[in-house]
Amino acid sequence: MNKSILIDKVLSGEASLGEQQELQEWIDSDSNHKKEFDDLKKFRQSFADNSAQVDDASFYNGLHTFGESIRKIKIRKRMIRSMKRMLVSTLFSISTMTIMAYSMEWPPFHRVIYYDLQLVEDVIYTNSSYDSIFNALERKYKITIQRSSSDKTACHFTGSFSKGYKVDQLIRVITIAAGLDLTTPVPGHYIVTGKGCRVTN
């Protein structure tokens, strides 16, 4: 039943017990409903106080106008809710696109970090073992140089590299010098294989 009609029946004392209960549930469900009820109640009361000057036609015209005002308020609320949902959806789409774009750029970013690593100081190796060289590079530049136990070499290297020399190129030079194989599956991760110059008795 139209709530304006239901309120009118309750206030006029013509509503059944079920209708009274229905109205009470509607009022309790939302604080705005209670305000609407109170406003309509005041509206009726103002007409009752001036019943001598106001006829039935005027009252119902006023009631209709009040009902129209309530309807417009509800329409405005629905429009606001719709705009909020659109805003949330737009923000979510923008966030998703930003994350995707950042993810697409992330691997190249890593390549720049590791492939462009340069020596921060001059290094001189004098009969240095490959394990000691690799261990020092790993600690200094936060990279991984993987060697299996069966591929460990007893080679030693003598040479020097100037500050600014690329770490990536340094590793390639010393592995080639030892006859070792080098692969780089991902930036900053090196895999050294091969027997190299293994010492034999």
Q: What domains are there in the chain, each with its CATH number? A: 3-90 (no CATH), 123-193 (3.55.50.30)
- Per-residue pLDDT of the chain (201 residues), as tens digits, is 666 777 777 777 777 888 878 878 878 888 777 777 777 777 777 766 665 454 556 666 766 787 788 888 888 888 898 888 888 888 888 877 776 655 554 444 444 455 578 888 899 999 998 889 999 999 988 899 998 755 555 688 999 999 889 999 999 999 888 888 889 888 889 998 887 775 433
Which amino acid type is present at position 62? G
Q: Which two tokens stand for residue 59?
A: 């009252």
**φ, ψ dihedrals at 196, nearest 5°:** 60, -150
Strand partners, 192: 147, 182
Q: For residues 122 and 160, is the Cβ–Cβ distance under 8 A?
A: yes
Q: Where are the alpha helices (DSSP H) in 53-166?
A: 56-115, 130-141
Question: Nearest CA to 74 among 118, 32, 133, 22?
Answer: 32
Separation between Cα atoms, residue 123 and residue 135, nearest integer Å: 14
Judge if pTM exceeds 0.85. Answer: no
pLDDT of residue 117: 83
Question: Nearest CA to 77 among 26, 32, 39?
Answer: 32
Measured CA to CA in angstroms, residue 159 lies from 128, 138, 163 at distances of 9, 19, 14
Q: Which two tokens stand for residue 4?
A: 């304006």
